Amino acid sequence: MSALSPRICTIIARQELRVALRNRWIFVYAAIFTVLTSAVSYFGLSIIEFTGFQGFERTTASLLNLVLYIVPLAAMLMTVQSFTADGGCTDQLFTEPVTRSEIVTGKLIGASAALSLATLLGFGLPGVLIARETGLAGLGSYLILVGYSLAIAAAFCSLAALLTIAMQRTQRSYGVVLIVWFIMVLLYDLGIIGLSFLLPDGIANRVSYISLFLNPVDAVRVSTLLATVGKEMFGAAGVLLVRSLGGVAEALLLLGAALLAWIVLPGWLASLLLRRQDI
């Protein structure tokens, strides 16, 4: 049973989705995300004494950083809960005639699906309200943000699975994923900016360019802005990226490939690691 069975992975994913939907935290996340999305759209211009729903384009720009904070955190915590030794039916799966790679793959698909449903709910109700109040102008930008939100959720689910298995599926995994989330979401860009000040301009630009692919948060941020606003939003790193690849489409393609690698590689490494562990 060395090869993955799509049927078995689907069965495990379906079971994982059912378990996740019975967990109240998935609905708490959906409710919080809905409230925050609605609030950002309604109060986004309150600093200039304007309240009321913004259009889709302004809402997308206002929501981007919120998404990059909340979605990775929720994805990591829910995945740790799924993979820890006391997380639902995980240990029972090891007694079944399935491979550990199928367990990891199925559980990741199920966890990502549950988080995607909650995220779509969080975007859906505010989207309906915005459309009713302001019309459909800029809807494409909003849908792009939704798509990238689902992608970064899958990437951080995969990363959390790897970290949890590396920690032997113990409760220490929660602390580890919180530290990794803090570094990748909050400290990473500060470190790159600080490093850029210490390096010559040419090298600093290349470091900034490479850094976009080493963190899925930056890959999603740059991709979303390139797809919705354009390259005019960026400084030296964005200009170098677009120029070196020959255009915005090529830059989006390469960033998309990097994001896909962040989804696939940690899950693959988690499967390899789990196969070597004594359960």
222-257 tens-digit pLDDT: 889 888 876 655 655 566 667 776 677 888 898 999
State yes or no: pLDDT of 47 exceeds 50.
no
pLDDT score at 146:
94
3-state class (DSSP) for residue 76:
helix
186-219 tens-digit pLDDT: 999 888 888 888 888 778 777 877 888 899 999 9
pLDDT score at 82:
87
Note whether 142 and 41 are within 8 A (CB). Answer: no
Residue by residue, DSSP assigns 110-145 as HHHHHHHHHHHHHHHHHHHHHHHHH-STTHHHHHHH
Angle made by CA atoms 245, 248, 253, in degrees to the nearest 5: 70
Domain range spanning residue 249? 6-276
Amino acid residing at 200: P
Phi-psi domain of 23 (left: phi exceeds 0; alpha: psi -120 through 50; beta: other):
beta
pLDDT score at 133:
80
d(CA 78, CA 26): 8
The owner of tokens 């690691």 is 273
pLDDT score at 98:
85
* Inside any domain, residue 185: yes
129-188 tens-digit pLDDT: 888 888 888 888 899 999 999 999 999 999 999 999 999 888 899 999 999 999 999 999
* Inside any domain, residue 149: yes
The two counts, helices (H) then strands (E), for the chain are 12, 0
pLDDT score at 1:
42
87-119 tens-digit pLDDT: 545 667 777 788 888 999 999 999 999 999 999
Neighbours of 240 (CB within 10 A): 18
State yes or no: pLDDT of 23 exceeds 90.
no
* Inside any domain, residue 251: yes
d(CA 186, CA 177): 13
* Inside any domain, residue 1: no
Average pLDDT, the chain: 84
**Number of domains forming the structure of the chain:** 1
